[in-house]
Amino acid sequence: MVTSTVTTTTSTVRARAEGHALDRAVELAERGPIAGGNPRVGCVLLDPTGAVLGEGLHLGAGSPHAEAVALSAVPASRRAELSGATAVLTLEPCHHHGRTPPCSQALHDAGVTRVVHAVADPDETAAGGAAWLRSVGVEALTSADAGIAPAATARAEELTRSWAAAVRRRRPWLVAKTATSLDGRVAAADGTSRWITGPASRAHAHSVRADTDAVVVGTGTVAADDPALTARDADGPLAEQPLRVVVGERDVPPAARLRRGPGQWHHVRTHDLTAVLEELYGFGARHVLLEGGPTLLGAALRAGLVDELHAYVAPVLVGGGTAAVRDLGVTTITDALRWRTVSTQRLGDDLFLIARPEGAQ
């Protein structure tokens, strides 16, 4: 009886310490880049008393994985304590020789005897880390099995959701952006559209571009708006630029702004957005931003390809002109596409809403 109580108390204390470590791992991971093809991952190493030995995050493709960063962050004076240590991770440790050795092996080699992860690795070539660890005698388990509070696991899932969905489907996570007036217009009758939304919305949209692997527009938008599609901040274009992709059979005019740098652009002469997304996945893209126009957005929505809607709505009324989306095939209101609001934010005078399809996570 006494033994059982002590055991319960010990595992409760451990679950709490590991829950804090998972929260911290998420916090670290969020500092990593969304773009670049790799998941954002955080790792916290704990000694048997629950004190932090080292922590790390993954800074993107070509950089060491979070586990390696955390292991190398342990001070020399405490390296011996790695023997018997616990690793708490947002994502299951990888188990393949990529540009870095498998993290499963690195954790085991360092003496770690317990590995807790929140999200299973959806990548067939990298998965199996937990199973291998168990096969060599390491206690490898999920955060749920470790008794960690569901909220911490949910944060890790949200952090990893878009990348994991892309890898599982072998198709990038697609965010569709609209920037409209209150009456849903993206341009006036004469085609002018600069600017409907305000400076705070536009700055926000640039930061989203910077976090994406590719920005996609239709040839119609190139003809109508001649967008540069670069990611800029107050100081001008950023050093890292998403790939700019034009979709459609029309030519891209020689003087089009997106032909000029910085960064690369690419024209895909098709209307088949699924094929375009698969091609972009092959290039390593996991996050793609669709910036219009109304026809391409309609096609993406009809095909069920849009994972997330980013809607900037300005307190402006136009009364006519170009609507944000065309050709949804909806004739009666019960067939309208309904989304679930994930978050809302005020940006200057504008509203910003993130939504996902009803039923999606």
322 to 341: interface string for a copy of itself, x by CB under 8 A: -xxxxxxxxxxxxxxxxxxx
User: What sections of 30-140 are H helices per DSSP?
Assistant: 66-73, 103-110, 129-135
Comparing C-alpha atoms, which of 146, 144, 152 is closest to residue 42? 152
Least distance from C-beta 205 to a copy of itself, angstroms? 16
User: What is the distance between the alpha carbons of residues 69 and 359, in angstroms, rounded to a whole number?
Assistant: 37
Nearer to a copy of itself, 95 or 185 (CB): 185
292 to 311: interface string for a copy of itself, x by CB under 8 A: ------x--x-------x-x
Q: Does 180 contact a copy of itself by CB under 8 A?
A: yes
**Backbone dihedral region of 233: left (phi > 0), alpha (psi from -120 to 50 degrees) or beta?**
beta
> Which residue of the set 67, 92, 291, 308 is catalytic?
67
First-to-last alpha carbon distance for the chain, in angstroms, is 42
Q: Does 283 contact a copy of itself by CB under 8 A?
A: no
Comparing C-alpha atoms, which of 312, 360, 316 is closest to residue 337? 360
Q: Does 349 contact a copy of itself by CB under 8 A?
A: yes
Least distance from C-beta 14 to a copy of itself, angstroms? 38
Residue where the block lists tokens 């954790």: 107
Least distance from C-beta 334 to a copy of itself, angstroms? 7
Q: Which residues of 5-42 are buried (b: 16+ CB within 10 A; e: fewer)?
A: eeeeeeeeebbebbbbbbbbbbbbbeebbbbbbbbbbb
Nearer to a copy of itself, 77 or 332 (CB): 332
188 to 227: interface string for a copy of itself, x by CB under 8 A: xxx-xxxxx-------------------------------
User: Three-state SS for 276?
Assistant: helix
User: What is the distance between the alpha carbons of residues 94 and 133, in angstroms, rounded to a whole number?
Assistant: 11
Comparing C-alpha atoms, which of 24, 13, 21 is closest to residue 116? 21
User: Three-state SS for 31?
Assistant: coil
Candidates 135, 250, 320, 361: give the one binding a copy of itself (CB under 8 A): 320
Counting residues that bind a copy of itself (by CB under 8 A) gives 56
Least distance from C-beta 307 to a copy of itself, angstroms? 14
Angle at 33 between CA 29 and CA 34, to 5 degrees: 95
Nearer to a copy of itself, 195 or 283 (CB): 195
Least distance from C-beta 220 to a copy of itself, angstroms? 16
Query: Dihedral of CA 203/204/205/209: which sign?
Result: positive
Nearer to a copy of itself, 184 or 237 (CB): 184
Q: Does residue 92 carry a catalytic annotation?
A: no
Residue where the block lists tokens 């590991």: 18
- The interface region with a copy of itself, picked from 16-24, 51-59, 180-188, 209-217 by CB under 8 A, is 180-188
Nearer to a copy of itself, 226 or 251 (CB): 226
Candidates 168, 315, 360, 361: give the one binding a copy of itself (CB under 8 A): 315
Q: Would you tell me which residues interact with a copy of itself (CB under 8 A)?
A: 178, 180-185, 187-190, 192-196, 298, 301, 309, 311, 313-321, 323-341, 344, 346, 348-351, 353, 355
- Residues assigned a catalytic role: 67
